[in-house]
Amino acid sequence: MISESIQKQRSHPLALVENKTSFAARDAELSIYDTFEQAKRVKLKSDQLLYCGMISGKKVMHLDNENYHKAFLPHESFILAPNQGVEIDFPVAQHHQPTTCLAIEISKGKINQVADQLNYIEPLPAHIGEWHYGNQMVHTAHNSETQALLSRIVHIFSENDPDRRFLSDLAVSELTARLLRHQTREMMLAFSRSEPDSDGMNRAIQHIEQTLDKPLDVEQLCKVAFMSRTKFYTRFKQLMGCSPSMFQQQMRIKRAEDMLKQGYSVTHVAYEMGFMNVSHFSRCFKQMVGVSPSHCKPLSLQ
């Protein structure tokens, strides 16, 4: 992910804790943070939305006002709302193995611009409201597509491409849209769990979540949703950002990750989640999470 031009700038750090290498664009700023020694309760705050992605090492994030104290690991995203403070521990940082993450500050104007575009082209159901950014922290594993996007952003920001301004704007817009979709999908999931009978789509979403260990029955989902197959697929993808089969796979892997962190074996989790064999489960897990199931350690060991 880190380009050669960035490596040169990072080779002579000015600080051992959160040494910062930055690249600015019109509506965003990319920073690479390296920490070379262990430290505790280092404060971080920005007046813009801050999208962080771990590259190497481990951080422990503390949000005292939310009683939140959790590990932040590679292949995960941590998004802070504007003016939301966090304190960070660096338990494994070393001179020869620094803890490294990237942080992308995104202006409020850019977020509002992307939300307005989504509201125009893909209006949401009335019970969900409009596309908007909710001022809350987000901590989630990012999939291979998000990982590739972050790598692309690093390359665009750090290289002297003649189309840099145009390309950086497109990439930041895509990252913002992904964040808005993530938050909207979480709202949809929360609503379908609390009000499953409010409409057909919520019933279909709940049905998928309740039958993750079974093959996807599209005909049954269409009956539950009271929609034709074409309408169901179109509406589902608009609201959830993916097809029903991909959604089921994502929910399977998410639940599998939770089970692995609770200490269940890879074999047990694979069959519990409806996979026919462990090797297929391992391939799907690595493709989505970025690491193999065997590297997903129980919470007590993180």
Local confidence pLDDT in tens for the 302 residues of the chain:
666 666 666 667 778 899 999 999 889 999 999 999 999 999 999 999 999 999 999 999 998 777 888 889 888 899 999 999 999 999 999 988 999 999 999 999 999 999 999 999 888 877 778 888 888 888 887 777 888 899 999 999 988 888 999 999 999 999 999 999 888 888 878 888 888 787 888 899 999 999 999 999 999 999 999 999 999 999 888 888 889 999 999 899 989 988 998 889 999 999 999 998 999 999 998 887 777 888 776 655 45
| Closest C-alpha among 12, 46, 16 to residue 31 | 46
Q: Are 81 and 132 in contact (CB under 8 A)?
A: no
Q: Is residue 100 within a helix (H) or strand (E), and if so which, with residue range?
A: strand 99-106
What pTM was computed for the model? 0.77
pLDDT score recorded for residue 301? 46
pLDDT score recorded for residue 298? 61
Q: What tokens does 206 get?
A: 């709940």
| C-alpha 204: how far from chain center | 24
| Closest C-alpha among 240, 272, 269 to residue 257 | 269
SS3 category, 211? coil
Q: Are 110 and 176 in contact (CB under 8 A)?
A: yes
pLDDT score recorded for residue 289? 76
Q: What tokens does 12 get?
A: 């002579």
pLDDT score recorded for residue 199? 83
pLDDT score recorded for residue 40? 94
pLDDT score recorded for residue 6? 64
Q: Are 302 and 71 in contact (CB under 8 A)?
A: yes
Q: Are 19 and 13 in contact (CB under 8 A)?
A: yes
Q: Are 146 and 83 in contact (CB under 8 A)?
A: no
Task: Enumerate the domain spans of the chain.
Answer: 4-188, 197-301
CATH among 1.10.10.60, 1.10.10.10, 3.40.50.1000, 3.10.20.30 for 197-301: 1.10.10.60
Distance (Å, whole) CA 177 – CA 173: 6
- Tell me which long-range contacts 90-93 makes (C-beta under 8 A, separation of at least 24): 90/17, 90/35, 90/37, 90/38, 90/39, 90/40, 90/42, 90/57, 90/58, 90/59, 91/38, 91/58, 91/60, 92/38, 92/57, 92/58, 93/35, 93/36, 93/37, 93/38, 93/39, 93/57
pLDDT score recorded for residue 103? 95
What residue has token string 């939301």? Answer: 84
Does domain 4-188 bear CATH number 2.60.120.810?
A: yes
| Closest C-alpha among 133, 138, 173 to residue 153 | 173
